[in-house]
């Protein structure tokens, strides 16, 4: 019997792709990428993944985001604006507009809680995540947040999942995990948790494309 649902955050509960938050930010300032933003985004996110475990407090986390944004802008050919824009984003890191919630996320979490499911986050993120979930209105739905930088291990390491399971008091076979990346699939399976692949862009035919699909799966 399933009793718990675990959720990734980036591109699961929050839309991390720059198209959803960065490009509108640039357009408001009369700017646009001078180079294809996709390679820049891939490189910036790779840098973040390599260093996020070091961001165990807010000071280091905000320094990481500043460098992430700077690399992103440089990769887009916006050298003249990179420092100022990066600083502006870091100073406004609690603004929910820069953390767009995936459509259907709150309704899905609310419905799961109403059905009696226990909920936890299992995310590769830095020390800012608890406050980010607070400002976007999702924090209260979760009984536990397993955040890699705060726990010292990152997906696909199964220990991050095991932390969440222990906090909820459920066995691995009593939980499913919803996430968008290979690390979600590998980590969940290694922990004995059933993974549900999610794709907010609707490009992967093997994945759920709407978070409400989690409710249908559990019905």
Whichever domain contains 146, its CATH number is: 3.40.50.1000
Q: Is 217 exposed, middle or buried (0-12, 13-18, 19+ CB in 10 A)?
A: middle
Residue 101 · residue 13 · CB < 8 Å = yes
Are 163 and 201 in the same domain? yes
Phi, psi of 57, rounded to the nearest 5 degrees: -140, 170
Q: How far apart are CA 27 and CA 87, in angstroms?
A: 17
Domain that holds residue 43: 18-98
Amino acid 92: pLDDT: 96
In the chain the beta strands, taken as DSSP E runs, fall at 4-7, 118-123, 144-147, 175-179, 194-197
Task: For helices 37-51 and 18-28, give the axis angle rounded to 10 degrees.
Answer: 120
End-to-end CA distance of the chain: 12
Are 118 and 43 in the same domain? no
Are 71 and 103 in the same domain? no
Are 42 and 85 in the same domain? yes
pLDDT in tens, 85-124: 999 999 999 999 999 999 999 999 999 999 999 999 999 9
Q: Which of 77, 98, 119 is the last residue of a domain?
A: 98
Where is 171: in which H helix or E strand? none
Number of domains making up the chain: 2
Amino acid 182: pLDDT: 96
Q: How far apart are CA 57 and CA 59, in angstroms?
A: 6
Write out residues in the chain with pLDDT < 70, as ranges.
none
Phi, psi of 177, rounded to the nearest 5 degrees: -125, 130
Are 61 and 91 in the same domain? yes
Are 47 and 124 in the same domain? no
Q: Which of 33, 63, 98 is the last residue of a domain?
A: 98
Are 91 and 199 in the same domain? no
Amino acid 219: pLDDT: 87
Amino acid 210: pLDDT: 96
In 87-174 the beta strands, taken as DSSP E runs, fall at 118-123, 144-147
Amino acid 116: pLDDT: 97
Are 36 and 114 in the same domain? no
Are 140 and 57 in the same domain? no
Q: Which of 53, 78, 98 is the last residue of a domain?
A: 98
The DSSP-derived string for 143-158 is SEEEEHHHHT--TT-H
């Amino acid at each position: 019997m399933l009793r718990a649902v675990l959720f990734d955050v980036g591109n699961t509960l929050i839309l991390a792709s720059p198209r959803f938050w960065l490009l509108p930010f640039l357009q408001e300032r009369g700017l646009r990428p001078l180079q294809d933003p996709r390679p820049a985004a891939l490189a910036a996110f790779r840098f973040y993944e390599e260093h996020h475990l070091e961001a165990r407090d807010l000071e280091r986390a905000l320094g990481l985001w500043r460098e992430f944004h700077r690399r992103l802008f440089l990769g887009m050919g916006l050298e003249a604006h990179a420092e100022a824009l990066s600083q502006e984003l870091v100073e406004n890191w609690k603004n929910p507009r820069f953390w767009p919630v995936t459509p259907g996320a709150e309704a899905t979490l609310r419905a799961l809680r109403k059905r009696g499911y226990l909920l936890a986050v299992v995310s590769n993120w830095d020390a800012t995540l608890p406050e980010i979930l607070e400002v976007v209105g999702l924090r209260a739905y979760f009984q536990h947040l397993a955040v890699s930088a705060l726990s010292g291990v990152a997906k696909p390491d199964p220990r991050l999942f095991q932390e969440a399971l222990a906090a909820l008091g459920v066995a691995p076979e009593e939980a499913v995990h919803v996430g968008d990346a290979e690390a979600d699939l590998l980590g969940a399976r290694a922990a004995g948790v059933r993974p549900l692949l999610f794709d907010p862009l609707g490009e992967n035919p093997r994945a759920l494309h709407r978070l409400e699909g989690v409710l249908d799966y559990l019905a």
